[in-house]
Each structure stands twice: as structure tokens, then as C-alpha cells.
Amino acid sequence: MKEFAVIGNPIEHSKSPEIHMAFAAQFDIELRYSKILVDKGAFNVAASEFFECGTGANVTLPFKEDALQFADVLSERAQLAGAVNTLSKKEGLIIGDNTDGIGLVRDIRDNYGQSFLGKKILIIGAGGATRGVLLPIATEKPQLITIVNRTYKKAEQLAAQFTDYAALSVESFESLESPFDIIINATSASLSGQTLPLNEKVFTFESFAYDMMYGATPTLFMQQSTQRGGRCADGLGMLVEQAAQSFEIWHGVKPCSQPVIRSIRDQLS
């Protein structure tokens, strides 16, 4: 039976085994999927041990950059993301990919019916999550991607790396005052229950706000959008869609995400 795993620290909370087993059941594929808790600094040893018999691994915090170094071959999106969340062993080589960005795009575009084509996109945050989603969003041909970040310089540095892929601009929270079509919160502010200092004009009743964080109740960011009459969603679908893309890489078939998203949503409430 083929072996898969998710590697991280902490790892107990991970829903990846449940998601992958649910996908496998859709195709009657038999597999084993375990959680591997690894001490910081010990990623290479753990990953090498796993891949003695293993076929594929998901990698989560804080090891996505270690996984980038560990892989023998990288996809373009993993290189640009500067992080790997999916490792596969093929013909003796370890292939590194990053499915977070396509997971976000598929959730917003396919599950919520929001096209990026020709739209004005605002991404809040300039950390690993933003870096991972810029290329997949650029591929959808938006009119403009604007990055805003608490630390302005980080947003500038990030934007400079993607100028070949999309029209990009950088703003400060203070300078933001026009509306956007899609507003994505890629900061960790929701984790600590902090409100972002966003001008309310960025949201309209026609805009769509997406918080990469997810939970049982709407985040403060989602509430900011709702107050302006806009639609919103959290990042649970992104989690399931990035797993679906990993599953497709490993098994060559595209699973149906909707029932899995619903089942995990039910467990949250």
C-alpha cells in the first residue's frame, strides 16, 4: 500500500489525513496517510526516512522552506513561492511543488464563482502565504494586483519579484481608499483576533472578501466586508483545494472537494 504523510510542527491539529482519506474513498484507492511530528532542524532526516518507502508528503509550518531545499526538482510555482507544500518521489527523485496558491484560486473561482479576469485584486499581507498565491492569481489575468502590508518594505520587495507576471502596485493602509473586486486577507491578524486598519471604501456591496484563515465563526475581516454589504468566505476551501491538487499530483485523478469541505465545515461548528 502506498504511504503518504503530512510533516509539520505542531501537527496534531492537521486535517490532511482526513481529507486525503476522503478523496481516496471517492476512487477506491487504498493508501496510508500519517502525521509526522518533526523537531525544528530535523526536517531532512525525517523526510529522508519517510521517502525510503513513502510516495508523497505534504509539508506544513514551519518546514515549507526546508522542503524547498530538500527537493531535487522544483516546479516554477514552488520556486516563485519560495516554499514547498507537496513532495513526490518519482524515479528516485524528490519533486517539490506548491499547491497553496492554486488551492486559493480554485476555491474563489470555482467554489464561489468569482472570476479574477480583468479584476482589481487587493492582497493584504506580504508573508509566505501571499508569496505562495501571487503566481497562481497572476495566471488568472487580473487587471491589477495591489499588495498592502503593515511593513511596507516587505510588500515592495515581494512585488518586485513578480513584476514579470502581473501588473502590481503597493500601497500602505493609509493610502488605500478605492474599492477592489476581490480582497484577500493573507495576514495572520485574524489568528490573534486583530482588526485590520482598512479603509471601509475598499469593500463595496459588489466586492468579494476572502480570509485565508478559517473557523467556526466569521473572522473580524469577514465582518468588515459584511458591514459594507459585500460577500465573504473563509479559507477552509483553500485548505481542501490545495489537498485536492496534491492528490491529483500523486494519483492522477481529480477528487471532488465539495463534500469534503462540507464535512469539515460541519465539524467546526
Site residues (vs ligand NDP, CB under 6 A): 100, 125-130, 149-151, 154, 186-189, 191, 194, 196, 212-214, 235, 238-239, 242
- What helix, strand, coil percent values describe the chain, rounded to 5? 40, 20, 40
For residue 155, the minimal CB distance to ligand NDP (Å) is: 8
Q: In the bound complex, what is the minimum distance in angstroms from residue 239's beta carbon to ligand NDP?
A: 4
C-alpha cell at 232: 465573504
Please tell me the distance from the alpha carbon of residue 121 to that of residue 84, in angstroms, as a whole number. Answer: 24
Which among 22, 29, 23, 72 has a CA at the least distance from the CA of 47? Answer: 72
Q: What is d(CA 8, CA 64) in angstroms, rounded to the nearest whole number?
A: 9
Smallest gap from Cβ 113 to ligand NDP, in A, equals 19
Closest distance to ligand NDP from the beta carbon of 167 (Å) = 21
Q: Which is nearer to ligand NDP, 48 or 194 (CB)?
A: 194
**Closest CB to ligand NDP among residues 3, 161:** 161
Q: How far is 49 from 28, CA to CA, in rounded Å?
A: 28
Nearer to ligand NDP, 2 or 154 (CB): 154
CA distances from 176 to 46, 56, 120, 150, 199 (A): 45, 42, 13, 12, 6
Q: Is 35 a catalytic residue?
A: no
Which among 35, 40, 64, 89 is annotated as catalytic?
64
Question: 55 or 60, CB closer to ligand NDP?
Answer: 60
Residue closer to ligand NDP, measured from CB, 51 or 86: 86
Distance from C-alpha of 169 to C-alpha of 29, rounded to nearest angstrom: 45
Quick check: 237 and 111 in contact, CB under 8 A?
Answer: yes
CB of 237 to ligand NDP, least distance (A): 8
Q: Which residue is nearest to ligand NDP (CB)?
A: 127
Active site residues: 64
